[in-house]
Structure 1
Amino acid sequence: MIIGGSKKDVIANIQKYANAGLLNHKVEVNDASLSRQESADLMQNYIQLTKSFKYRANNLLARAAADVLTELLNTNTTFTGLEKIRNITGRAIVTSNHFSPLENTVIRKALWQIRHRRLYIVSEDTNLLTGGPVGFLLKYYDTIPVSTDTNYIGKIFPEILRQALDNENYVLIYPEQEMWFNYAKPRPPKRGAYYYAAKFRVPIISCFVEIIELPKQDNDEFNQVKFKMHILDPIYLDPKKSVRENSIEMMHQDYQQKRNAYEQIYHKHLDYHFKMEDIVGWRGQ
């Protein structure tokens, strides 16, 4: 399923930034932008919203809708490595490659296989401004927004994250930071996900989603794709090391596991010189 219009400009941005080695840059062309004050105001309003009956009611609706969407979008999705995480019963941060607004459903479906139903997702604050059905899910599903507001990100965000983990939930954080549409390669991670894993002393559930092109047209630019979720080795902190040491080591291990997974799955050496085949399913010129 392709959300949004033409991806030509997005793919042109991916090509430009990949070849320049700027692998965590924003490539979407119509994303909203907020000043620091606008972000602070948005976060204040969102926190107030989460305390309301309206939010609690819509959260139930959003979670039910996400369950239906997860089933519909993953009828052909397959999973490997589930046995590696069956003994992780709660309190974990999940990391994965970020290539679609909908690939979090793959992760949700994988966690269902180990009888874990609830997944919180860390998301950019600007996503709260999205309209339509997708916007409803982004606002009312179990979303933990990140913001450029220093007070929020320094005090409020860690507390929301801690509460979600303390309630035996998993939290999905995309360490690549920005979504690159249908981009097959894992990109170098930022340290935030691993910092919070070390700070709150929880493991990393390391995932890599393989994108498989199907011989059937989706729209004028893309063929349809399906997914295969690869659960990699979970990553545990070393209790003898500091938060900083653990976060750096966990980050490096996660990236290396994702690199290895890519090279084994696609039978290609990982480099970031752009090729059109990096965008799975792309039929455009």
Structure 2
Amino acid sequence: MKDIAGATKEVRNLVQENIKSAVAEKRYNDDVQPVDWENMQKVTPDFVFLTKNPIKILGGFLARGLAMFVSPILCKVGIGTAKVHGRENLKGLKGAVITCNHVHIFDNLFVRWGTRGHKLYITVAEFNNMKGPLGALLRGAGCLPFSDCFTAMKNMSKAIDKLIQKGRFVLYYPEKAMWPRYEKPRPYINGAFHACVNNNVPVVPTFIAFKPKAGKGNEGKTAGEYYIMKPIFPKPELSKKENVEYLKNATFEAVCQCYKEVFGEDPYNETPVSINL
């Protein structure tokens, strides 16, 4: 039987076993899910991150409208709720990096719903840059795929700088890989925080916390609620390298504190060592 994301029970079980193994060996950024490489569209040096084509711009406008319309619906169906806390922390922000734990195929829709009123772009793994109509829809809705090509990554970085300078929000998943419904924060990699420092904008830590689902017949089921924390700004007295480290650590600490406030306990007896990538 397949779930709403199209995964069979066997695949779900395999993913959970992979997560257990990764946790035991403290490999918190490992990919744990099978990837459909055949459906991936390679991100090449000539990949266009910000189109000037009027037809594609119109298509993107429609794609964003559709994404915003379905966001609360799919959050309720897939994640169990569309409840958002802390939207007041976004007030007055123009240009920011958003971070979120990567825990569900629809978690970007939760971020989109939580940050509504701000134009959001979403960084994704290259294998999420899919062929066909679905891939075109995702790119139109604001997905920016990473690449193993240096030139493409340089172009992506320039595009992100332009978006932030225009006052847009850019979502990063600093945990790197998606671990379905994993409850604890995982150590961060550096990419998101370089974007903050390069553009002198804050990072806004956010977190999806999975709580037991209330109601008769929901034993063992969980629903995620979305928490938006206060923005964290780069410190002018620090160097770029120091600021990247500061923002990464401060963001992780804020998310761990959110977890503690939600569940009444620290996510870790000792903080996992962060990974510098």
Same fold by TM-score greater than 0.5:
yes
Are residues 178 and 216 of structure 1, via their aligned partners in 2, closer, same or farther at CA, if it must alter by over 3 Å? farther
Could you state the TM-score of these two structures normalised by the residue count of structure 1?
0.81
SS at match of 2:44: helix
Question: Of the candidates 239, 243, 264, which is equivalent to residue 242 of structure 1?
Answer: 239
Post-superposition CA distance 1:158-182 (Å, at most 9, x none): 1100111122111101111111011
Q: Residues 9 and 29 of structure 1 are in contact (CA less than 8 Å); yes or no, is this contact kept in structure 2?
A: no
Letter in 2 for 1:3: A
Q: What is the distance in 2 between the residues matched to 1:55 and 1:9? A: 39
Aligned counterpart, 2:203: 204
Question: Of the candidates 85, 107, 112, which is equivalent to residue 108 of structure 1?
Answer: 112
- 1:68-79 alignment to 2 at 5 Å? 68-74=69-75, 76-79=81-84
Please report how far the alpha carbon of residue 109 of structure 1 lies from its aligned counterpart in structure 2 after TM superposition: 1.6
- 1:101-140 alignment to 2 at 5 Å? 101-112=105-116, 116-129=117-130, 133=134, 135-140=135-140
Post-superposition CA distance 1:88-141 (Å, at most 9, x none): 2x11000011101211122122222xxx241000111221126664x4432321
Q: Name stretches of at least 5 consecutive residues in structure 2 with no aligned partner.
A: 270-277
Are residues 58 and 224 of structure 1, via their aligned partners in 2, closer, same or farther at CA, if it must alter by over 3 Å? farther
Letter in 1 for 2:253: Q
Q: Residues 216 and 223 of structure 1 are in contact (CA less than 8 Å); yes or no, is this contact kept in structure 2?
A: no
Aligned counterpart, 1:276: none
Q: What is the distance in 1 between the residues matched to 2:34 and 2:217? A: 24
Q: What is the distance in 1 between the residues matched to 2:54 and 2:45? A: 17
Q: Name stretches of at least 5 consecutive residues in structure 1 with no aligned partner.
A: 273-285
Q: What is the distance in 2 between the residues matched to 1:21 and 1:14? A: 10
Please report how far the alpha carbon of residue 9 of structure 1 lies from its aligned counterpart in structure 2 after TM superposition: 1.1
SS at match of 1:211: strand
Aligned-CA RMSD value: 2.8
Are residues 200 and 260 of structure 1, via their aligned partners in 2, closer, same or farther at CA, if it must alter by over 3 Å? same
Structure 1 runs (4+) deviating above 4 angstroms are 130-133, 215-218, 222-225
Are residues 83 and 61 of structure 1, via their aligned partners in 2, closer, same or farther at CA, if it must alter by over 3 Å? closer
* Percentage identity across paired residues of the two chains: 24
1:91 aligns with 2:95: yes
Are residues 216 and 122 of structure 1, via their aligned partners in 2, closer, same or farther at CA, if it must alter by over 3 Å? farther
Aligned counterpart, 1:65: 66
Q: What is the distance in 2 between the residues matched to 1:175 and 1:33? A: 26
SS at match of 1:43: coil
Q: What is the aligned residue count?
A: 260
1:256 aligns with 2:253: yes
